[in-house]
Each structure stands twice: as structure tokens, then as C-alpha cells.
Chain A
């Protein structure tokens, strides 16, 4: 099993996506199928960006096993008030400033759901959010 840990800086937009890039590189090096890498990269990037724009950063753990890749994103941000609503395509609370950068389509969580094989969201208002995603390798 390969384990990677990342601390995501919530103040640095310019580094957002860096962890996903590193994971993608590692998965490529160890010969994971391109289609599996693609779905992992899409979903992890969305999770990483959400941490930066909605939760002021957080921590990401990635575990790679022969049959699956597990990504756990943990933040101590504001939490998600209504998960069902947040999962809807097009729902976003992104600020105008963030929207000008091209975020805020409200497609991040739907992408994460679509491209992961399993997804669990644990969120407590005022305490934070943990998203666990699993990607099957075959």
C-alpha cells in the first residue's frame, strides 16, 4: 500500500490542484489504468478546490491499494448546511471573487459523486467536513 498525505493551504489559490497533480503523477508511475487516473484526478481536484474556496484549506490522505484508491479530504471549515442541496448540479455559495476565477458552477460535488465509485460526506456545521471517496482500479 502507498500512502500520501498533504496539507492544503487555504490562502493560496495558485497552489490549488497541486496535490491532485502529485497524486496523478504517482498513479501514472505505478501503472494505474489511465481511465482510473482520470476519474481520480477529476474528483480529487474538485475536493481539493472546495477545501480552498469554501473551507480555508485542510488535509488530504490518499491510500493506494491494488484494487482501490481511497481519498479522504478533511477540513475544519464551516461545514455544509444542506448536503442534498449542495449535491445538486448548479448549486453554489461561491463568492463573486471566486466566480470570476471560473469556480462556482456548482458542479464540483456532482463531479465527485459521478467519478468516484463510493462517496461519503460527513459534515458538522461550524466544525468541518470530511469527504471520503473510493475509486476501484479495475
Chain B
């Protein structure tokens, strides 16, 4: 699936590439766990919204970050994500609800 498949269904693209491919998913808010668990092209579902998520997603080549539960990225996150070519979405949905939607695509 690609990021675009999610748009509209309660997901909003904050920055990045709507054609970005997503494969697999990791859910978690602890950065040093996410750091070793995220696989290339994973959608990373988190409530973290500070600038450090960009570095983690970029280093692990995550497909996108999905900030859930209505959190918004902090100042500077979008600029940094643009530079590092990290795609970010946000949604009011919970991590569980997001994962249920992703699972329909059997990613």
C-alpha cells in the first residue's frame, strides 16, 4: 500500500510523499525501542510528536510516521522532516484503530 491509500479516511498528510510505499507496522512511543524494532518501510504509529521522531524514522527508513490520538507535531518537526524526507500523517484515531485499518491492506 502507499500513504495515499490512508488519506481521507481520518488521516491527514502533514508532510512528505503520498506515494511512499508502506510495508509492515511498528507501534510504540519509546524511542530506543522503536529504534531497533522499526524495519525499513514500516508505518510507525506513535503519540510522540517531538523532533526526535524524525531522526529515528529517517535512520530506520520508516515508510511513514502516523501520529495518533490527535497529537500534533511540535514546532520544527515538519521542517526537519522535509529535509530528511520523512513522511508524517496525523489522525484522531487510536493506535489500535490505525492498526486495524492497516491490517486490511495486509501489509
Contacts and interface: CB of A to CB of B under 8 A. Distances in A.
A107 B48 contact: no
Contacts of A49: 31-32, 52
Contacts of B59: 17, 20-21, 24, 41-42, 45
A107 B53 CA distance: 16
Interface stretch (A64-72, A108-116, A117-125): A108-116
A115 B56 CA distance: 16
Given A45-B35, A107-B36, A114-B36, A14 B51 contact: yes
Max count, chain B CB within 10 A of own CB: residue among A14, A46, A108: A14
Interface in B24-69: 29-36, 40, 46, 48, 50-56, 58-60
B30 A17 contact: no
A103 to B, nearest CB: 6
Interface residues of B, number: 24
A109 to B, nearest CB: 9
Given A21-B59, A21-B84, A102 B36 contact: no
A41 B60 CA distance: 8
B76 interface: yes
Nearest to A12: B51
A16 B55 contact: yes
A114 B30 CA distance: 18
A14 B76 contact: yes
A53 to B, nearest CB: 10
Q: Is the interface of B mostly helix, strand, loop or mixed?
A: helix
Contacts of B46: 102
Nearest to B55: A17
A49 B54 CA distance: 14
15 contacts: A13-B50, A14-B76, A18-B55, A34-B40, A42-B36, A42-B60, A46-B35, A49-B31, A101-B31, A102-B29, A102-B34, A103-B30, A103-B52, A111-B35, A115-B36
Contact of B51 (A13, A46, A104, A107): A13
Interface string A94-107: 00000001111111
